[in-house]
Amino acid sequence: MKDRQEKIAQVIVTAQQMHDIEERIFTAGMPVVALMEKVAGLIARRIQDIYLLSCQQENKGKASLSPSLPPSRVGILTGPGHNGGDALVVARELYFRGYEVLIYCPFSKLKELTSQHLQYNRSLGLPCYDSIEPLQDCDLLIDGLFGFGLERTLTDPVASAINQLNEWDKPIISIDLPSGLHTDTGEVLGTAVRATHTLCLGLWKQGLLQDQALDYVGKAELIDFDIPLADIQVVLENSPSTKRITKTTALSTLPLPRPPVTHKYKEGHLLLICGSRRYSGGAILTGLGARASGVGMLSIAVPESLKSIMVAQLPEALIIGCPETESGAIAQLQLPAKTDLNSFSAIACGPGLTRDASPILQEVLDSISPLLLDADGLNILAEMGTINTLQKRQNSTVLTPHTGEFKRLFPEIADANQHRVKATREAAAQSGAVVLLKGARTVIANSQGTVWINPESTPALARGGSGDVLTGLIGGLLAQASSKKISVEEIVATGAWWHSQAAILAAQERTELGVDAHTLTNYLIAVLVSTSNKK
């Protein structure tokens, strides 16, 4: 059972894929009406749980909370399709449980099953309106206007109704996804419901995990209605997979396994090339992120003028002082005797480097060590020509751009802000690299087209230096994984999850304003301890 739940939790589908999966279920003999009853029953129970919890939170600190809350007014927003049918069954179930229910349905033409449910609700005496105003006094709104597959821009009267209810500042629970969002991209189609909760049905829809949708989704959770795994596998087997990074998958490799008898070089030797006189902090933060990864040996190449600062901050690391330019950038690498770039298990290059260090990057690219590029490493690569340059590499490369860097790296690819999954997948396919596109929902793709999305993060990471910590952390994991049977893309996905979970924990304990990049490094180990204790 747990294995099935974990597999379901990882799956992300497009509208077409969800349609094909449902068609297989119905073709196999599952009546649409039976599935609707099952799904709506699960939704109704979850809505009641959410409402009771919110009431308890509102009454927290008061003398007592009545064990039997008085019936509340619930507004049901009904669409013409089966999403509207789900909402109408929910309306009926809540009515039978003592809630006062009002229905908003501005459509004259409904699917047959939806129409039947509306007719029955009317027979029960539930009022139905084609205007949104009568629902203004409701305590809770249920959004069942549109389900997955919506592609057209919303128009009046529905668009105006949505804008109006968004101004009411009431709790709204959306069924499957907030009405008005594109299922695949999360694009707002003119306007969209700003939900406080979204109950995604069956499988995670790709649009719910896109940056541009997050202002509308609220707290999202999955309502599992027992889709057979075989149907999912048949539909998805010939398409590049898109997966959610889950706690279980991330922790399956953390900490990275070590044999009883080992030594520091067997547990990975990472070289960081970073920093300049102008940006010494980038080198420090990258080093602290790498230290937290547990890498066996850490070497850090910096301009000579930074060496004493780095030794003070990272006494366990081997600090390599390099000749520097007049501007304080690394002029050339000066590695220890009998050491070259191919001696390292992995290399991470870029934070604080400045573009004055551009000659260094070609030397790094010519190495055969796994390589991670970030910050100025990416900017220099873009000037060199991303795709042609990376196609010559003999080992794996990881790129970790934000959207601005992505545009410079891949100017021919469509806007990564609007089509994050598609853009990241294309970039990885063209370059042969594993590409991590930073954002509120970080997207990772490999050259075979497999995509991972990190489903949780926090605005606390919108601080200078947070990306430097991520570079060091993933670099350290890459160095350790070089001797283990763990793919580069799995390691990158694990590092992204670890980084965001540390920030979430730090924000919970210190508030979002209290999570600077240096503080973040102190929570990298703390979050592993916390999650391990909860297993």
- Edge-to-edge order in the sheet of strand 434-437: 242-244, 451-453, 443-445, 434-437, 397-399, 371-373, 346-349, 269-273, 297-303, 318-322
Q: 148: annotated binding-site residue? A: yes
Structure token digits, residue 5:
């739940």
Q: 151: annotated binding-site residue? A: yes
Q: 114: annotated binding-site residue? A: no
Strands (E), 364-424: 371-373, 397-399
The span from the CA of 85 to the CA of 112, in Å, is: 9
Q: 442: annotated binding-site residue? A: yes
Q: 343: annotated binding-site residue? A: no
Sign of the Cα pseudo-torsion (506, 510, 511, 515, in order): negative
The span from the CA of 407 to the CA of 187, in Å, is: 19
Q: 186: annotated binding-site residue? A: no
What residue type is assigned to position 291 of the chain? R
Q: 179: annotated binding-site residue? A: yes
What residue type is assigned to position 87 of the chain? A
The span from the CA of 127 to the CA of 352, in Å, is: 63
Q: 176: annotated binding-site residue? A: yes
Q: 352: annotated binding-site residue? A: yes
Q: 292: annotated binding-site residue? A: no
Residue 103 has φ and ψ, to the nearest 5°, of: -115, 135
The number of helices, as runs of H, and strands, as runs of E, in the chain is 19, 19
In three-state secondary structure terms, 408 is: helix
Q: 464: annotated binding-site residue? A: no
Cα angle value 520/523/528 (rounded, 5°):
140
Q: 84: annotated binding-site residue? A: yes
Q: 152: annotated binding-site residue? A: yes
Q: 86: annotated binding-site residue? A: yes
Q: Judge whether 211 and 240 are in contact, CB under 8 Å.
A: no
Q: 14: annotated binding-site residue? A: no
Q: 202: annotated binding-site residue? A: no
Q: 441: annotated binding-site residue? A: yes
Q: 85: annotated binding-site residue? A: yes
Q: Which residues contact 468 (CB under 8 A, 6 or more apart)?
A: 274, 281, 282, 285, 286, 289, 351, 352, 374, 375, 517
| DSSP structure class, residue 355 | G
The span from the CA of 210 to the CA of 224, in Å, is: 21
Q: 397: annotated binding-site residue? A: no
Omega prior to 157 cis, within 30 of 0: yes
The position carrying tokens 């994050």 is 420
Q: Judge whether 440 and 430 are in contact, CB under 8 Å.
A: no
The span from the CA of 183 to the CA of 206, in Å, is: 6
List the one residue out of 154, 139, 148, 71 whose CA is nearest residue 106.
154
Q: 60: annotated binding-site residue? A: no
The span from the CA of 390 to the CA of 140, in Å, is: 53
The span from the CA of 476 to the CA of 466, in Å, is: 16
Phi-psi region of 465 (alpha: psi -120 to 50; beta: other; left: phi over 0): left
Structure token digits, residue 417:
């802000």
The position carrying tokens 């409701």 is 138
State the binding site for AMP: 438-442, 467
State the binding site for (6S)-NADPHX: 82-86, 147-153, 176, 352, 402, 468
State the binding site: 82-86, 143, 147-153, 176, 179, 352, 402, 438-442, 467-468
State the binding site for K(+): 83, 143, 179
